[in-house]
């Protein structure tokens, strides 16, 4: 990379803090360099007192790949400051151009060592819940390439989690996202790589390569099952058949 990581990370961090869009990164940044920038962005949040609470996968469904024109699985980081209570409010002015997505989320009951070739992340999961993710690209017009979006913490914004349940069959559950009571997106957990547990297995490899810890209590967003929809002042509800629902209100 010709440009050093630090100024790019500072620019992305400021864009997030000030809710102001920023231009895409210079061309030619590799995927490894993009994860380095992401780590540098998150380091600024950790220095400000935030805590890592999990990871999020992106582009695990065709609907998302097609919507954004990116077709590789990506991983971002979740901090405690990104968590919104179920039923809680999201101040839209703190975000650039937020969108919402329906997801399911897994919780780790014990640490997983991503470097261990025998690591079994599926058996480490102790609970599952419906989730709503508020994504927010820091790039103008929500336009980015693969390296840009990785560097920008994979458009990570905020997330809310519904009630935790023991992991049963999550293979083919209907997923519904509604806005002010009107249906906005329908899908199935099968849209997530054919089976959402596949997303977890993919995560281990990326975590090993890019230095993401997978720790007891961490939550893992498996990636949206449908395309995202713009988030304006409204009540957004995600329902996953058999898993219940979760709601956030944009104000």
- Residue 245: CB atoms within 10 Å: 16
Query: Is residue 224 a contact point for ligand OOG (CB under 6 A)?
Result: yes
Give ∠ CA 140-68-154 in degrees, rounded to 5.
Answer: 70
In this complex, which beta carbon is closest to ligand OOG, that of residue 119 or of residue 189? Answer: 189
Q: Minimal distance in Å, beta carbon 225 to ligand OOG?
A: 8
142 CB-near residues (< 8 Å, 6+ apart): 97, 99
User: Token pair for residue 100?
Assistant: 């919402």
Which residue among 77, 223, 246, 247 contacts ligand OOG (CB under 6 A)? 223
Q: Minimal distance in Å, beta carbon 117 to ligand OOG?
A: 27
Binding mask 159-198 for ligand OOG (x = CB under 6 A): ----------------------------------------
Which residue among 33, 36, 101, 148 contacts ligand OOG (CB under 6 A)? 101
Task: Please answer whether residues 221 and 103 qualify as being in contact, where contact means their C-beta atoms are separated by less than 8 angstroms.
Answer: yes
Strands 174-179 and 182-188 turn out to be antiparallel
Which residue among 5, 40, 55, 58 contacts ligand OOG (CB under 6 A)? 58
Contacts (CB under 6 A) with ligand OOG, residues 125-144: 133, 135, 137
Query: Is residue 55 a contact point for ligand OOG (CB under 6 A)?
Result: no
Task: Give the chain's largest Cα–Cα span.
Answer: 50
Q: Minimal distance in Å, beta carbon 220 to ligand OOG?
A: 12
Residue count, binding to ligand OOG (CB under 6 A):
13
Name the H helices within 112-195: 121-124, 146-151
In this complex, which beta carbon is closest to ligand OOG, that of residue 57 or of residue 214? Answer: 57
DSSP one-letter string for 83-124: EE-TTEEE-GGGSSS-EEEEEEEEEESS-B-TT-TT--HHHH
Strands 244-250 and 174-179 turn out to be unpaired
Which residue among 35, 59, 106, 231 contacts ligand OOG (CB under 6 A)? 59
Query: Is residue 149 a contact point for ligand OOG (CB under 6 A)?
Result: yes
Which residue among 12, 29, 41, 68 contacts ligand OOG (CB under 6 A)? 68
* CA distances, 206 to each of 26, 49, 76, 149, 202 (Å): 24, 26, 10, 15, 7
Chain centroid to Cα 91, Å, comes to: 19
In this complex, which beta carbon is closest to ligand OOG, that of residue 119 or of residue 221? Answer: 221
In this complex, which beta carbon is closest to ligand OOG, that of residue 18 or of residue 71? Answer: 71
Given the rule CB under 6 A, which residues bind ligand OOG? 58-59, 64, 68, 101, 133, 135, 137, 149, 154-155, 223-224
């Amino acid at each position: 990379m010709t440009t050093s990581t630090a100024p790019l990370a500072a620019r992305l961090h400021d864009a997030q803090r000030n809710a102001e869009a920023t231009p895409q990164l210079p061309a030619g940044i590799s995927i490894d360099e993009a994860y380095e920038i992401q780590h540098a962005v998150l380091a600024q949040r950790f220095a400000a007192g935030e805590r890592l609470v999990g990871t999020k996968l992106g582009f695990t469904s065709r609907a998302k790949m097609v919507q954004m024109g990116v077709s590789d699985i990506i991983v971002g980081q979740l901090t405690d400051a990104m968590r919104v209570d179920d039923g809680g409010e999201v101040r839209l002015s703190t975000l650039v151009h937020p969108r919402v997505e329906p997801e399911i989320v897994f919780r780790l009951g014990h640490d997983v060592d991503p470097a261990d070739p025998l690591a079994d992340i599926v058996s480490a999961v102790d609970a599952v819940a419906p989730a709503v993710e508020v994504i927010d690209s820091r790039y103008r017009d929500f336009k980015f390439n693969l390296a840009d979006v990785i560097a920008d913490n994979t458009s990570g914004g905020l997330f809310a989690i519904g009630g935790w349940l023991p992991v049963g069959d999550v293979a083919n559950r209907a997923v519904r996202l509604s806005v002010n009571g009107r249906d906005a997106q329908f899908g199935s957990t099968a849209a997530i790589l054919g089976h959402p547990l596949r997303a977890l297995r993919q995560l281990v490899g990326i975590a090993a390569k890019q230095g993401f810890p997978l720790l007891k209590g961490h939550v893992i967003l498996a990636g949206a099952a449908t395309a995202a929809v713009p988030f304006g002042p409204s009540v957004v509800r995600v329902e996953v058949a058999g898993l219940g629902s979760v709601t956030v209100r944009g104000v």
